[in-house]
Amino acid sequence: MSWYRLKARGYDFDAVVGGVAKLFKLTPGVILEPSKKPERVRARSLVCFRAVTELGLPGTVVGKRLGIVQSAVSKAVERGARLAADQKLSIEAPGNR
């Protein structure tokens, strides 16, 4: 599904964070907080991947929301892409594998 269709269906950054939070059994606030805990790093990476590649948001915008620089977003997008592919995750069905 293209990013404009996702946006038309109500998917935005907050929806992505909410979906990832459910998937990882975390609260959205926990995902938005900086952390080096592996589970949170994976969750934040998936948020970056979905927000940048599936919603088309610029890395700088995503970085500001997560409190990280654009280069960190780029690395997180790569990690999130591997995670999404390995676990067959999609934005249309957060939490469904």
Query: What secondary structure does DSSP assign to 44-55, as a single string?
Result: HHHHHHIIIIIS
State the number of CA atoms in the 13 A half-sphere of 54 facing the CB: 25
Q: What is the pLDDT of residues 19-34, one digit of tens each?
A: 999 999 999 999 999 9
Work out the mean pLDDT of the chain and round it to a whole number: 87
Indicate whether 91 pLDDT > 60.
no
Share of the chain above pLDDT 90, in %: 69
Residue 88 pLDDT: 77
pTM of the predicted model as reported, rounded to 2 decimal places: 0.84
For the segment(s) 3-87, the CATH number from 1.10.1750.10, 1.20.120.530, 3.10.20.30, 3.90.180.10 is 1.10.1750.10
**CA–CA gap between residue 24 and residue 4 (Å, rounded):** 26
* Domains in the chain: boundaries: 3-87
Residue 54 pLDDT: 85
